[in-house]
Amino acid sequence: MAFLFQLMRSFTIRTRMIGAIVVVLFLLSLVGGAGLFGLFRLQALGSEYIAQTAATTGALSSLRDGMGMMRRYEKDMIIHYETPEKVTQIRQLWQQTFTSVRQQLNAILASDSSDVAIVQELSRHLDDYARSFEPTANQLVNGGYDSATVAQRVMGKAIAAYDAAEKQLAALEQAQAERNRSAEAANQDAMQLTIALFGVAVACAVVVVVPLTLMNMHSICKPIASAQALARSIADGDLTHHVEVSGKDEAADLLRALKEMQDSLRAIVTRVQSSTESITTASAEIATGNQDLSSRTEQAASSLQQTAASMEQLTSTVKQSADAARQA
């Protein structure tokens, strides 16, 4: 931790901020990439499901409807056995439906379906059903049956072929249902993978961003707090506050400048104190000299007074001598 702190302090705050932006952008790209990967994966699975599963499911539904209509037309022909014209119309509908069913089977065979064997078996049974039903249909058109019961009785082989075809259709639907479940499972797996990747990306972002942000904040706030304490001590007149300066960032430069200012102020105060002491000594010496000069001046004045008195006495003596000389 201390090594990382010192390492961060070796870069400027601007560089660290740019680095933090780059790291955040990278982590955001990582998180977004995980989300996009999951999105594209789900989209691919959805497209595959729509292109294959849903289309095949729709084809099977149409196929079952067509086969059901064939049985319905078959029964309608037997019911209207006494009306050949009606039977002929229904037979045409049956043939159209059979042709449509065969086309749907051929379309499934032409696709990339994995159920080719089942579809081929289904087609074979339908062809058997059509061949078995053809003589009965001709007899119904020609009114060859005395009752519907007789017509129904001769339909045994055709019905057996249809039932076999219907079993193959059920097997085909079962296989398609299995594929649907597999597609749903793949979709769920892709969703879980996306959530896992997204969670890992977010966790990596938190693990990287939070500690680095706290360390960066500490690397900025700690030297600024030291600079604030140093500035307050200088403002209070305390120039003895010691601070350790390390790092190469702006906060270290600020703290270093304040320390240099403190050292300069300490030197100025020291010089001022030295000058004050010199001035005090000189003032004392001047005061002593003035006192000596005053004493000497007083002595000179006293001497002058004595000299004046002597001169006055001498003048009086000279005057007396002059007066005595005139009298003589």
Q: Return the number of other C-beta atoms located less than 10 Å from residue 120's C-beta.
A: 13
In 3D, which of 114, 128, 207, 194 has the Cα closest to residue 161? Answer: 128
What is the spatial distance between Cα 197 and Cα 42, in angstroms, rounded to a whole number? 14
The mean pLDDT of 20-48, rounded to a whole number, is 76
Q: So what's the pLDDT on residue 113?
A: 62
**Stated pTM of the model:** 0.52
Q: Which domains does the chain have, with CATH numbers?
A: 8-199 (1.20.120)
- Helix, strand, coil content of the chain in percent (nearest 5): 90, 0, 10
> Predicted confidence band at 93 (pLDDT cuts at 50, 70, 90)?
very high
Give the model confidence (pLDDT) of 254-284 as tens digits: 778 877 888 888 888 888 888 888 888 877 7
Give the model confidence (pLDDT) of 210-250 as tens digits: 887 887 777 777 778 877 887 888 888 777 777 777 777 77
Q: So what's the pLDDT on residue 54?
A: 63
